[in-house]
Amino acid sequence: MAIAYISHSDCLLHDMGLHPEQPARLNAINDRIIASGLDMALRQYDAPLVDRELLNVVHEPMYVDRIHSMAPEDGTVWVDGDTAMNKHTLQAALRAAGAVQLGVELVMKGDAVQVFCGVRPPGHHAEQNKAMGFCFFNNVAVGAYHALNNYHLKRVAIVDFDVHHGNGTEDIVSGDDRILFCSTFQHPFYPGTGHESTASNVVNAPLPEGAGSMPFREAIDLYWLPRLQAFEPELILISAGFDAHQADDMAGLNLVDADYAWVTRRLCEQAERSAQGRIVSSLEGGYNLHALARSVEAHIKAFMGDY
């Protein structure tokens, strides 16, 4: 079973200063992959720059132009109160979206069955015309529309287990019945969305502060899995945020490494039934470095059937 790992050194150069979304996140993941021996089992690829045409499908072209124009030659430019650009950020963001584009191409061509994109900046808060929450371009939405428009799939699922609701993804895909969007997230919490969604292709399962393994797994079993089974996705994309971990003090959920392995296995089972096993996962949140690295290891090992 071929599993690909896509990253790029440019993603280490995006730096917002004293900020939780820091380059050390990727270093921690890479170190763990090497220490665990997973690097010997993964096919590693450099992330390309995303095609501009794909960005213009997902985001308003004027917004894409604006992000390009805001890229500084030096120093730091703040796009919102949480989200900043240095001179390397634009290139990193284009690589992060390009990683998911490449991931889709690898699974659709049969060069990989599952893909993990170890990239930053993350993407699931980026709306059609708005950067926020550390995100500039919506990486998983780029992958979804690449699969639909260029590989002519009819049904793509996006699932998101980040502690924060993927408001950007919902903004982009809401009402598009070719895409099923399923998410769990802490509520009430940033960005304060998701609990009142009405779109028929959106399945949100908010969790209260303090919720741990049992409520999380019950939400997946009760809300996600029946809809995924009925939808029969031909490809599953994962917004893989690991900040619902009990060790991550930026939020208030209490998941553990094994929960990420468990949900990954459930998604693999659905992918094996309807999508020829095809899954592309892309890093979102996760800010406690040790917990993040262990959770990514569990996530990738679950692709291999080790959990």
User: In angstroms, how far is the first alpha carbon of the chain from the final one?
Assistant: 15
Radius of gyration of the chain (CA): 17
User: Catalytic site residue 146?
Assistant: no
The 10 Å CB-count burial string (b at 16+, else e) for 32-63 is bbeebebeebbeebebbebbeebbebbbeeeb
CB under 8 Å to 178, separation ≥6 — which residues? 148, 153, 154, 155, 156
Q: Per the residue annotation, which of 8, 14, 124, 125 is the catalytic one?
A: 125
Cα 35 to Cα 55, 240, 278, 293, 301, distances in angstroms? 36, 21, 27, 11, 14
Residue 48 tokens read as 């390309």
* Measured distance CA(136)–CA(89) in Å, rounded: 9
Look-up of token digits 């990738």: 300
What is the Cα–Cα distance from 102 to 288, expressed in whole angstroms?
Answer: 28
Catalogue the active-site residues.
Answer: 125
